[in-house]
């Protein structure tokens, strides 16, 4: 049973999997018709798409289970269906757990590296939103107060080396003001721009490869005063200059 909902899951058949992909596509089309500029697929934290990626939950023995590539198959089909419904002038991103902290029983950073490559190679995604944790390790998904600020940077380094310039990266993890957001940007840019005193000087020249996630309750803080970060994070992807993006689990 689910460790959260205490329900016994049903193994989905091929027709149901096709319906899932079709439903995501229709939902994205509705979002576009509503006037928003993009959607984010939530494939982290043991939501449906995250469970498909994780060996903790996905024990299928068909083409949707087993290898990392097979466990990515449904998300690839979802992304392709979304693109078929909304076209290329609409932002599509995905949130991923880079580590589930249950060893080989769940997603490891090495598996996440493979996932990122497979998904980036589709050309469907404008950004990857990097997180961590799962239902079994929710304390890792939502960092407690004694956790280090900006503690997910190692995952951003790994993802950037794989993604290259194929997509943007978003990063979360106790980033509580814009000064901290600016400090973690080198992890997203992977050293391809000069960094001095924890400031990314190249941002003013138009670097646009990453964004640090900042909690909305911090956005009005008196410490949120860095123009290099604020001008940077307004650019979500190459498909939307100033976008409103909906998230779908």
Q: Which residue is associated with the tokens 């087993």?
A: 66
Measured CA to CA, the distance from residue 117 to residue 160 in angstroms comes to 10
Tokens of 152: 């997910």
Phi/psi-derived region of residue 148, left when phi > 0, alpha when psi is between -120 and 50, beta in every other case: beta
Beta carbons of 239 and 91 less than 8 angstroms apart: yes
214-242 burial by CB neighbour count: b if 16+ within 10 A, else e?
Answer: beeeeeeeeebebebbeebbebbbebbee
76: Cα within 13 Å, side-chain hemisphere: 17
Q: Where do runs of H (alpha helix) occur along the chain?
A: 14-33, 48-53, 68-86, 109-121, 138-141, 153-163, 178-189, 227-233
Tokens (6 digits) for 224? 């949120």
Signed CA dihedral, 243, 246, 247, 249: sign only: negative
Residues sharing a CB contact under 8 Å with residue 16, sequence separation 6 or more, in sequence order: none
Is 47 among the catalytic positions?
yes
Residues taking part in catalysis: 47
């Amino acid at each position: 049973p689910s460790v959260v909902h205490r329900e016994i899951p049903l193994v989905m058949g091929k027709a149901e999997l096709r319906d899932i992909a079709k439903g995501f596509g229709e939902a994205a089309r509705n979002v576009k018709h509503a006037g928003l500029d993009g959607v984010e697929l939530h494939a982290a934290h043991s939501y449906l798409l995250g469970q498909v990626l994780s060996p903790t939950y996905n024990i299928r023995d068909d083409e949707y289970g087993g290898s990392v590539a097979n466990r990515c198959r449904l998300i690839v089909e979802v992304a392709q269906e979304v693109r078929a419904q909304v076209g290329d002038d609409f932002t599509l991103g995905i949130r991923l757990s880079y580590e589930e902290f249950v060893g080989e029983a769940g997603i490891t950073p090495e598996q996440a590296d493979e996932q990122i490559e497979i998904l980036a190679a589709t050309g469907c995604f404008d950004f990857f939103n990097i997180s961590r944790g799962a239902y079994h390790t929710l304390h890792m998904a939502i960092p407690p107060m004694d956790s280090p600020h900006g503690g997910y940077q190692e995952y951003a380094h790994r993802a950037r080396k794989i993604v290259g310039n194929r997509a943007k990266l978003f990063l979360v993890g106790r980033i509580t003001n814009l000064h901290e957001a600016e400090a973690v940007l080198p992890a997203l840019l992977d050293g391809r721009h000069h960094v001095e005193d924890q400031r990314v000087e190249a941002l003013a020249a138009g670097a646009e490869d990453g964004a640090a996630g900042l909690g909305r309750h911090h956005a009005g803080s008196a410490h949120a005063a860095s123009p290099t970060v604020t001008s940077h994070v307004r650019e979500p992807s190459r498909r939307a200059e100033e976008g409103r993006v909906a998230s779908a689990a």
